[in-house]
Amino acid sequence: MSSEELIRESRRHPKIDDRGMMDVPFLVLVLLLVAIGLLMMFSASYAGAFVSEIFGEEADELRKRGGDKASRSGSKLYQVNIGGTCKVIRQCLEHHIGKMIYVSSVHAIPEKPKNCVITEDCEFSPGLVDGDYAKSKAAATEMVFSAARQGLSVNIVFPSGIIGPGDMLGGSFTSMAKSFLTGKLPFAVRGGYDFVDVRDVAKGILACAENGESGKGYILSGHYITIRRMLQIVGKAAKLIYRPICLPLKLARLAAPYCERRCLKEKKPLFFTPYSISVLGSNGRFTHDAATERFAYRPRPIEETLRDMTAWLVSQKAKAGSAL
């Protein structure tokens, strides 16, 4: 459904009045967000499980195929990120929900030159970003802002690269860290990005639900760090001497398509893809000043996140070993 079609659809439903009156009390929605936030504190993967409950086979299929980690995720990616978002918007309009929080991504924000800091103040359009994942999130973000202009009380948050302890399904960096800790990561990649602790994102979502200005978007970023430095911190926390070779980005770009095809064929975790290499070579300088000013968002040091993540991964490995 296009933005124009969404607008026409929204006009069929009564809008929330200026006082924010609604059939469903705001407290109920806040409690729901608290529950989701607690799940996210344990694992970014649980957010995927929550999506599966809503969208069923589409989300499950997306995960099986590598989701946003694969460069060619196909129509399922759009069905979940755009079609799923459209369903939620319609339900909020139909049931007069007091406030909706949409979790977008910094990938939906058009990239600026490397010497510029990226903010939320921009135009959102699939044509302004690269990659299926970014395009799908940009399109969904555009739809949400269109709904906001039609009277839906909504905030959008833009997390950067989410990492942290409790990632049971294994995100990109979690998979890389697991391979590193078991000595199965022969090489890594130069470059870096902005990474944020999943626990800080969960707290940021709840703070935004309570204090975010309606119709506004907020970046929930963490800290810029290179992959080399991240692995150094993980290695030190695990008392490892092993250090992988870090490939230059140009060489990594040549190898990435082969690695992606092989991982998809062998059903191995995807963390070395053309899209991920492109991200690591892009401008990863984001500011969360707007969120800090509005609802006191302050991400913890990245070193703390990586140490906690390493401790969790080591404990998981120990549990798996004792179960054998």
The residue behind tokens 């739809």 is 143
Nearest-angstrom CA–CA distance, 286 and 244: 28
Query: Are 131 and 278 a contacting pair, CB within 8 Å?
Result: yes
Nearest-angstrom CA–CA distance, 299 and 197: 7
Check residue 73 and give its pLDDT: 52
Nearest-angstrom CA–CA distance, 96 and 23: 6
Treating both helix axes as pointing N-terminal to C-terminal, what angle do 57-64 and 44-55 enclose, rounded to 10 degrees? 140
Q: How many CA atoms lie within 13 A of 286 on its CB side?
A: 34
Burial of 319 (0-12, 13-18, 19+ CB in 10 A): exposed
Nearest-angstrom CA–CA distance, 104 and 154: 12
- DSSP state letter for 129: S
Mean pLDDT per 10-residue section of the chain, whose length is 324 residues: 46 40 44 45 39 35 39 74 94 91 97 94 94 93 95 96 92 89 86 96 96 96 96 94 84 85 79 85 96 98 98 89 51
Outline where the chain has alpha helix (H): 3-10, 26-42, 44-55, 57-64, 75-78, 84-94, 132-149, 172-181, 198-211, 227-237, 249-266, 274-280, 289-295, 302-323
Distances 178 to 165, 168, 169, 227, 324 between C-alpha atoms, Å: 12, 12, 12, 14, 19
Distances 316 to 167, 178, 217, 241 between C-alpha atoms, Å: 11, 10, 36, 21
Task: Please provide residue 310's backbone torsions phi and psi, each rounded to the nearest 5 degrees.
Answer: -65, -45
**Is the sign of the CA dihedral 119, 124, 128, 130 positive or negative?**
positive
Helix (H) or strand (E) holding 188: strand 187-189
The residue behind tokens 């080591």 is 314
Predicted TM-score of the model (pTM): 0.77
Check residue 174 and give its pLDDT: 92
Check residue 62 and give its pLDDT: 35
Check residue 147 and give its pLDDT: 94
Nearest-angstrom CA–CA distance, 181 and 93: 47
Query: Are 189 and 249 a contacting pair, CB within 8 Å?
Result: yes
The separation between the first and the last C-alpha atoms of the chain, rounded to the nearest angstrom, is 50
Check residue 183 and give its pLDDT: 87
Helix (H) or strand (E) holding 245: strand 245-247
Nearest-angstrom CA–CA distance, 175 and 191: 18
Check residue 24 and give its pLDDT: 43
